[in-house]
């Protein structure tokens, strides 16, 4: 599910029970489930317990809609969700373990959760829970950007070109050269070079848009982009 329709400004004001607000919040859950789950795992919770806790966190978030607790001028979605999760886990530690989590809550239909159901994420001793969360957040952002880029190409009948150029974008090992791609697609090498340049430009545009959806003010964009790059370098 694309994150493009869930702007931070929409999330902050999504206090109603409207279908649009519900769809926005469920999209939010889908995009951030994996990073928050990774944080819970690094905190020492076993696989199934971590899944339950993460699911319950989002269920309560959807039920309360208490986003008005965040001041718009200071709200960064990434930071707000992590702080909220920490508070949730602290409260859960005080609850009886005999209480079944999620009882009576509306189930969240998120297809992508199933894709991560057997997520092979084990604690990394050299990283803290916060660092693991940040890394998973950064990877989730890049996955969302690549998905949007692919959708653009396929919608315009350029799916094959995307498939061949994405390996260059990811700089995968042993990737084919631009000359080899040109020969395969029946293009000139210069045409492939120009196509790849346009892909990189569009990728950067989509990355900036994706980050813009998760901050409160435009002034925060460059800082958040620098933060993402720093996280990926760790």
Question: Which portions of the chain are predicted below pLDDT 50?
Answer: 1-6, 71-73, 96-123
Please tell me the predicted confidence (pLDDT) of residue 64: 67
- Largest Cα separation within the chain, whole Å, is 67
Nearest to 48 by CA among 101, 109, 95: 101
Q: How many CB atoms lie within 10 A of CB 120?
A: 6
Distance CA 187, CA 179 (A): 9
Sign of CA dihedral 8, 103, 54, 51: negative
Residue written as tokens 């813009």?
Answer: 212
Instruction: Note whether residue 1 is domain-resident.
Output: no
Q: Has residue 175 been placed in a domain?
A: yes
pLDDT at site 192: 92
**CA-CA distances (angstroms) from residue 185 to 67, 147, 191?**
49, 22, 10
H or E segment at 197? helix 189-212
Q: What is the number of domains present in the chain? A: 1
Instruction: Evaluate whether residue 75 is within a structural domain.
Output: yes
Domain for residue 225, yes or no?
Answer: yes
pLDDT at res. 78: 82
Tell whether 20 is covered by a domain.
Answer: yes
Tell me, what's the pLDDT at 107? 39
How many Cβ atoms are within 10 Å of 187's Cβ, its own excluded? 17
Q: Using an 8 Å Cβ cutoff, are 175 and 167 in contact? A: yes
DSSP secondary structure string for all residues of 78-114: HHHHHHHHHHHHHHHHTS-TTSPTTTTPPPP--HHHH
8 Å CB contact between 54 and 64 = no
pLDDT at 16: 60
- Give a yes or no: residue 2 inside a domain: no
pLDDT value of residue 152: 95
To 5 degrees, how large is the angle CA 183–CA 187–CA 192? Answer: 95
**Which range marks the domain in which residue 113 is found?**
8-233
Considering the domain boundaries, does residue 130 fall inside one? yes
Q: What are phi and psi of 215, to 5 degrees?
A: -125, 165
**Has residue 29 been placed in a domain?**
yes
Distance CA 153, CA 145 (A): 13
């Amino acid at each position: 599910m694309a994150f493009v329709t869930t702007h931070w400004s929409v999330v902050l004001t999504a206090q109603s029970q409207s279908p649009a607000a519900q769809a926005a919040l469920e999209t939010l859950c889908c995009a951030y489930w994996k990073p928050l789950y990774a944080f819970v795992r690094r905190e020492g919770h076993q696989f199934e317990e971590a899944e339950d806790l993460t699911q319950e966190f989002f269920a309560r978030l959807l039920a309360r809609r208490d986003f008005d607790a965040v001041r718009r001028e200071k709200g960064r979605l990434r930071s707000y969700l992590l702080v909220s999760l920490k508070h949730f886990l602290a409260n859960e530690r005080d609850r009886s373990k005999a209480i079944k989590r999620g009882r009576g809550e509306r189930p969240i239909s998120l297809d992508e959760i199933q894709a991560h159901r057997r997520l092979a994420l084990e604690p990394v001793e050299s990283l803290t829970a916060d660092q693991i969360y940040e890394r998973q957040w950064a990877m989730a952002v890049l996955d969302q950007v690549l998905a949007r880029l692919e959708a653009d190409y396929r919608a315009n009948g350029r799916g094959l070109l995307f498939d061949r150029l994405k390996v260059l974008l990811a700089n995968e090992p042993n990737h084919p050269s631009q000359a080899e791609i040109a020969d395969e697609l029946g293009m000139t090498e210069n045409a492939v070079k120009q196509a790849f340049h346009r892909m990189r430009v569009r990728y950067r545009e989509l990355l900036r848009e994706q980050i813009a959806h998760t901050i409160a003010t435009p002034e925060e964009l460059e800082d958040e982009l620098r933060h993402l790059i720093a996280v990926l370098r760790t």
